[in-house]
Amino acid sequence: MKNALSALLLLLAAASARAADVNVRELIDRANKALRGDSSHGKLSMTIETPEWKRTLEIEGWNKERTYALILIRAPAKDKGETTLRRVNEMWVWMPKVERVIKIPPTMMHSTWQGSDFTYEDIVKADSIVKDYTHKLLSTKHEEGRTVYHIEAIPKPDAPVVWGKVITDVALYDADQAVVPLLEEDYSERNELIRTITLSDVKILGGRRVPSRLECVPAAKKGQRTVLVYHDLQFDVPLPEDFFSYQRLQKAAGG
């Protein structure tokens, strides 16, 4: 009995040491990159639901590192060809219906994208949550096959961010050490919950463990939500920087 108790205490001490040694910023960084990697190509659908209407967009997207993204709407017909391009700190939208390119200023990065509950920054998977916030581990729990870290992110002084606080749940899987985001709660500067993003249906896509479903629910809009579902995802895609050229904005739909 004494030996068994000693072994149990050693296990608990080891688990506590592992939790203490966790690099929380690294967890956030890896979770933020889970659906994009160093480069990626994906196909997904986005469904926006309100009490009055519902619409679904079919989307194709390419990402490279933290600075390049090209997002193309494939359907429905009335939105087909609309393209969002990010190059480093600049962003443009090509609107084929009016044959016009609109430059998105930094002040609009947190504006709604396509009438959804996601923003331009969400869609291009920017890394503000990594570089503009400090991170604190609030709690840890071990579930079957994974450890879930409950983390608080507070913006750095003078950081150009919209959220006053972000709470996230991040899972580290025992089998392959994959880091998968599970939950994001975004709060205002007044500590009011603004929206909740739940990431679920974890599966293997492109050889990696990722959440294939994201549901964003705004706290103040009853009956409204936006759901992203990944149907196909490939990582480490060879994408030269000129793939994300300004000239490609108008040509992406045919490529």
> How is 124-189 classified by DSSP, letter by letter?
TT--HHHHSEEEEEEEEEEETTEEEEEEEEEEPTT---S-SEEEEEEEEETTT--EEEEEEEEE-T
Average pLDDT on 227-235 reads: 97
Domains of the chain: 23-254 (2.50.20.10)
CB 67 within 8 A of CB 48: no
Q: Has residue 207 got a pLDDT over 90? A: yes
Alpha carbon distance 216, 197 (integer Å) = 4
Taking alpha carbons only, the member of 254, 198, 201 closest to residue 230 is 201
| C-alpha distances in Å from residue 93, one per residue of 100, 227, 250 | 8, 22, 10
Q: What is the pTM of this model?
A: 0.87
pLDDT band at 22 (very low <50, low <70, confident <90, very high): confident
* pLDDT band (50, 70, 90) for residue 14: very low
* Mean pLDDT (whole number) for 95-99: 90
pLDDT score at 161: 87
Mean pLDDT of the chain: 89
Percent of residues, the chain, with pLDDT higher than 70: 90
| pLDDT at residue 3, rounded to an integer | 53
Among 56, 95, 88, residue whose Cα is nearest residue 72: 95
The model's pLDDT over 139-187, given as tens digits with 9 standing for 90+, comes to: 999 999 999 999 999 999 988 888 999 999 999 999 999 999 999 999 9
Task: Give the total residue count for the chain.
Answer: 255
The larger pLDDT score, comparing residue 10 to residue 220, is at 220
Confidence (pLDDT) at 254: 57
Q: What is the pLDDT of residue 217?
A: 98
What pLDDT is stored for residue 237 in this prediction? 96
Q: What percent of the chain has pLDDT over 90?
A: 74
CA distances from 67 to 26, 40, 106, 185 (A): 19, 13, 14, 24
Cβ proximity of 60 and 42 under 8 Å:
yes
Residue 219: C-alpha distances to residues 31, 58, 162, 182 (Å): 23, 26, 16, 18
| Gap between the Cα atoms of 134 and 66, Å rounded | 19
pLDDT at res. 21: 55
For 16, the token pair is: 């506590």
